[in-house]
A and B are shown apart, each in its own frame.
Chain A
Amino acid sequence: MGKIHVPGVIKAVKKVRGGVKVNHHKNTADLEVVRMPEPKQVILPMQQHIGAPCTPTVKVGDTVAVGQVIGDSDKPVSAPIHASVSGTVTAIGNVKLPGGAMVQGVTIESDGEMRLYEGIEAPHVETKEDFVKAIRASGLVGLGGAGFPTHIKLNAPSKIDTLIINAAECEPYITVDYRECIENSWDIYSGIRTIMEFLEIPNVVIAVEDNKPEAFKILEQIVDGDSSAGGAIKIMQLESRYPQGAEKMMIQSATGRQLPPGKLPSDIGCMVMNVASTAFISRYLKTGKPLVSRSLTVDGLAIKEPKNVRVPIGTSISDIIDFCGGFKEDPVKIIAGGPMMGVAITDLDHPLSKSNNALLAFSEKDAKVFKETDCIRCGRCASACPISLVPTRIVRNTKAKDADALVKDGVMVCMECGSCAYSCPAKKPLVQHMRLAKALVREAGAK
């Protein structure tokens, strides 16, 4: 452990409490990202980000090209949506998101040409304002899973002193961020330099878990090879332990600061960016091609050929699974996202959204459907909680509908990482209880 003395390599300033040792299942780590041929049809939901939904800017019958804006909003927290295939708009109606919410969606029938929109050119960026405007136009949202519009993050009113590049990828199965580090490491680096320059950020920490030594090595070589950064960019090796990659945990590991409840990272001088988002920024500034496709990991015992695949946004989940050879056996559970925080979906018609980084089809064996038993107060949930909550207590207070007690218990700080439920021997659906508790508190607050 103590043998790393290379300048630029650091350890976590303040270690993360609790967490769980999960089975990593990084089966697809060695599989290069392959491009999926364009599907016959895509459905683009008007809400693929945190914030206000977009309104369609096209009509049924319109001809659209790749990269053309088809949905936008005048609300500040939002991100425009672009056509991901060229073709004809055939329908504008309701689509169901994996979580169950209904939003407007634009269906585009592909003409098979993948014709690029004529208006696409590299943006002219000279100032921070130009930069933020360009990123808004790119439609970029956090590609790590949260889907927060990136231009809002970049336009924070407070001074940022540390930029944290999140390459931890602590969710099991998912390997697309790892592949990004291996395949597009220079894009990541130039993205970092761009953000540093426009936002005048003095420190950068690239965080990688120690189960990805190859990614670590490549990034280290690049950082060490460029003396112009003057040692401002450091690489932090984190213990592979879930949930190291959560934003709050990242900030604590990199700077020792704890994000107070209800505050944004920028309020304490930090900005956390996913590696894939960072790499996208550098590519966008070069080409001007908006966010119309993304990489995701397709894995799970029920999938015939697990893959890392680059897919046009809006492609239906069944098309993606067909591209991966279809099912080997009957899936018991299909998850959009990782196994710790992903959403179990009900059918395969859902379209892929911007923030979806994995698609897992679990067979009987890996779906692990357990029977719930009584709580024995073993306290494993409390030891696993990275933010020091006592979940079993929150469950009791939820059942008692005691909103005041729940606020004191700190349930609103909960980020639903699932460490508590993972470690519960009684198989309690603790995350579900946390969500119920939060709803209860919100309801009580609204009264």
Chain B
Amino acid sequence: MDLKNKLVVSASPHDRTHKTVRSIMLDVIIALVPALIASVVFFGPRALLIECIAVGTCVIFEYASRVFMKREQTVGDLSAVITGLLLAFNLPVSIPLWMVPIGSAVAIVVAKQFFGGIGQNFVNPALIGRIVLLTSFPVAMSTWTAPLTWSKQALDGMTSASPLADIHTMVSTGVTPDASLTEMLLGWRAGCLGETCAIAIIIGGLYLIIRKVISPTIPLIYLGTVALFMLVAGKGDLSFVAYELLGGGLMLGAFFMATDYTTSPITFKGKIIFAIGCGLVTSVIRIFGNLPEGVSYSIILMNILVPLIENITLPKPFGTPKKEKKEKEAKKS
């Protein structure tokens, strides 16, 4: 049989893992499903509508950007679906629907495709989308709806304060927030769509850790740093620490945003520094800042520092002598 010019020739290795970028992204989407269900349970069909609009527009923007830029089509890798879901999870249920595509456009077109598409963005696209919406439409983005009121009354009548503002002052005023800790854990509180149900987020996070999509390093150290900081700030009040951990977008941020491959360090030491940085900035904004929430800003700030963190945390190649030795040798010669 003549096999000339028929055989595939490629560099080794000739066996590959079955995992692909698409399969990893699909795992992340699966991990986001519990939080998606929780958002619909607590905030009603409008939550699902917002999520559909966000995902739909993100996918359309991704597709259109690639066509417009005459680049290879990458919409099939499913990363735009994740960006859409995460963006929607960071929006309140009462947001005017026309604002959602603006967030999608900023996330996909500006933050991601302007920089070259998947793997090239230096900040988390969904978070940039959220921050642009928050600074452009501060009122719409900070109008909170009490959970499980969607079936009873019209939405606009049932606004509620974000419990996070109450939490920050609970130690000084002595007033406990409206929601109990159990309610906080279950997601029975006002907040953005996907951030309230801590249990659902943790289930998703555990799924990602078990499937080895993410390592537990960043979420654990991020949450741990916030817990430590709050323990000191709350003068040892453990319920304050628990409220801070469960409040706002911390859980969502720690498991799904700070662990984004593209915008977090590759090196193990780098991950630790990155996570501690996220924790410190989040805590400082929460306790000392004017804003009630600091998760988005802290992650974005640390995203920008990733190249620097990686540069100083590169592992030493196998067998290379320790630094002092090298310097000694250099001095000798």
Q: What residues of B have a CB within 8 angstroms of the CB of A248 in the complex?
A: 318-319
A387-B8 in contact given A344-B14, A425-B17 (Cβ < 8 Å): no
Q: Is the CB of B9 within 8 A of A344?
A: yes
**CB of B315 within 8 Å of the partner chain:** yes
- Residue of A378, A387, A392 ringed by the most chain B CB atoms within 10 A: A378
Q: Is the CB of B318 within 8 A of A327?
A: no
**CB of A232 within 8 Å of the partner chain:** no
Residue of A nearest to B4 (CB): A347
- Chain B: interface size category: 35 or more
Q: Interface segment, A76-84, A133-141, A207-215, A257-265?
A: A257-265
Q: Is the CB of B119 within 8 A of A334?
A: no
Q: Is the CB of B318 within 8 A of A413?
A: yes
**CB of B117 within 8 Å of the partner chain:** yes
**CB of A386 within 8 Å of the partner chain:** yes
Q: What residues of B have a CB within 8 angstroms of the CB of A346 in the complex?
A: 4, 7, 9
Main secondary structure of the interface of B (DSSP, over half): loop
A422–B7 Cα gap in the complex (Å)? 21
Residue of B nearest to A25 (CB): B15
**CB of A369 within 8 Å of the partner chain:** yes
Tell me how many residues of A have a C-beta within 8 Å of chain B. 65
A435 to chain B, nearest CB (A): 7
Q: Is the CB of A377 within 8 A of B10?
A: no
**CB of B176 within 8 Å of the partner chain:** no
Main secondary structure of the interface of A (DSSP, over half): loop
Q: Is the CB of A339 within 8 A of B315?
A: no
Q: What residues of A have a CB within 8 angstroms of the CB of B9 in the complex?
A: 333, 344-346
**CB of B173 within 8 Å of the partner chain:** no
Q: What residues of B have a CB within 8 angstroms of the CB of A20 in the complex?
A: 17
**CB of B175 within 8 Å of the partner chain:** no
Interface mask (B53-86 → A, CB under 8 Å = 1, otherwise 0): 0000000000000000000001001010000000
Q: Is the CB of B119 within 8 A of A431?
A: no
Q: Is the CB of B17 within 8 A of A432?
A: no
**Told that A344-B9, A374-B118, A382-B266 touch, could you supply 20 new A-B pairs with CB distance under 8 A?**
A261-B319, A333-B14, A335-B14, A339-B15, A342-B14, A344-B12, A345-B7, A348-B3, A367-B14, A368-B14, A374-B21, A374-B117, A376-B24, A388-B316, A390-B314, A410-B320, A413-B320, A416-B12, A422-B16, A425-B21
25 A-B pairs whose Cβ atoms sit less than 8 Å apart in the complex: A172-B15, A259-B318, A260-B321, A261-B319, A330-B6, A333-B8, A344-B9, A345-B9, A367-B8, A368-B16, A374-B21, A376-B24, A376-B119, A377-B261, A379-B261, A379-B267, A388-B316, A388-B317, A390-B315, A392-B266, A393-B266, A409-B314, A424-B16, A426-B20, A427-B20
Closest CB pairs A-B (n = 3): A410-B317, A387-B318, A418-B13
